[in-house]
Structure 1
Amino acid sequence: MNNVNITGRVVKDPDTRGAVTTIIVATDRVKLRDGKTFVDEATGYTAKETEFHKVTCFNGLGKAAATREKGNVVAITGRLHYSSWEDRDGVTRYGCEIIADKIDFF
């Protein structure tokens, strides 16, 4: 089964090309030290790590996603998609993205 569910913030305005829209979503998770959470001395809050996810939306979902702005909170349901390609120098590159099936806007 290939299912992905994430909730996070849009980190930059969507990129739309025709009926395809790409958004970058940031999610946070608690950072651990020796298996335990800890307070970041600089901020005074629980330390967190941020991960960034490329989300691709097609057709009507792409049009809806295109209306989002940086900072909006979204919940994404979709699937992982892996791809590979050769760059200009002939080096094989790999990428991963989420293909959205559903987006909830908050």
Structure 2
Amino acid sequence: MSINRVVVSGNLTRDPEPRVTPGGTQVLGFGVAVNDRRRNQQTGEWEDYPNFIDCTMFGNRAEALSRILRKGMKVAIEGKLRYSSWEDKNGGGRRSKVEIIPDEVVLMSQNPNGQQAPQQYAPQWNAQQAYQQAPQAVPQPAPPQPAPAQQQLDVYDEDIPF
């Protein structure tokens, strides 16, 4: 058995690139920069080194997120890794990459300069269901109950089992 799960948070490196497959499936491509901290051997100082990760999302969520995501936004992504390889058309030989196929995307900021509460876009998210739900009744507080009569308990050392 193997496990293929990854969680990253970082900033979008470019605006999302929506497209549609010949079969009509929505596809959204975007990149995320995730920092790695390492100590510089010459100076002894800690430095950030960016890792640039490609992400590809499919389906209705891809189309919805293409209208929301923008370069610079902070996001958290949970998904799986996918390996792809192809022959370079310009004679450059065999090419390959590893990308994330997101299952969940959490918006950590609304835009590069403003913060908002995190929003989660997961597979079970359905905007139509969210808008069609009937408003919930506001629960009313229970009427006050009289305080129970206090009871005296007698506990002796012999009654404690340890």
**Normalised by the shorter chain, which TM-score bucket?**
0.7 to 0.9
1:54 is matched with 54
3-state SS in 2 of match to 1:71 = coil
Kindly indicate which of the two structures has a greater share of residues assigned to strand: 1
2:50 and 2:92 mapped to 1: Cα distance?
31
| TM score, norm. by length of structure 2 | 0.56
1:90 and 1:73 mapped to 2: Cα distance?
34
Matches within 5 A, 1:40-79: 46-66=46-66, 67-79=68-80
2:38 and 2:60 mapped to 1: Cα distance?
37
Residues paired across the two proteins, number: 98
Q: Which stretches of structure 1, 4 residues or more, deviate above 2 A after TM superposition?
A: none
Provide, for residues 54-100 of structure 1, a one-character-per-residue CA deviation record: whole Å limited to 9, x for no partner. 01111122123312111111100001100111112271111111011
Matches within 5 A, 1:1-106: 1-18=3-20, 19-34=26-41, 38=45, 46-66=46-66, 67-88=68-89, 89=91, 91-106=93-108
Structure 1 spans left out of the alignment, 5+ residues: 39-45
3-state SS in 1 of match to 2:64 = helix
Provide, for residues 30-64 of structure 1, a one-character-per-residue CA deviation record: whole Å limited to 9, x for no partner. 12235xx61xxxxxxx5210111001111122123
2:53 and 2:65 mapped to 1: Cα distance?
15
1:90 and 1:52 mapped to 2: Cα distance?
22
Between 1:19-28 and 1:82-91, the stretch displaced more is: 82-91
3-state SS in 1 of match to 2:85 = strand
More RCO (CA 8 Å, sep 6+):
1
Note if contact 2:15-2:71 (Cα within 8 Å) is conserved in structure 1: yes
2:57 and 2:83 mapped to 1: Cα distance?
15
> Rg bigger for which structure?
2
How large is the Cα RMSD of the aligned pairs? 1.8
Note if contact 1:79-1:98 (Cα within 8 Å) is conserved in structure 2: yes
Quick one: percent identity of the two aligned structures? 33
Between 1:84-93 and 1:14-23, the stretch displaced more is: 84-93
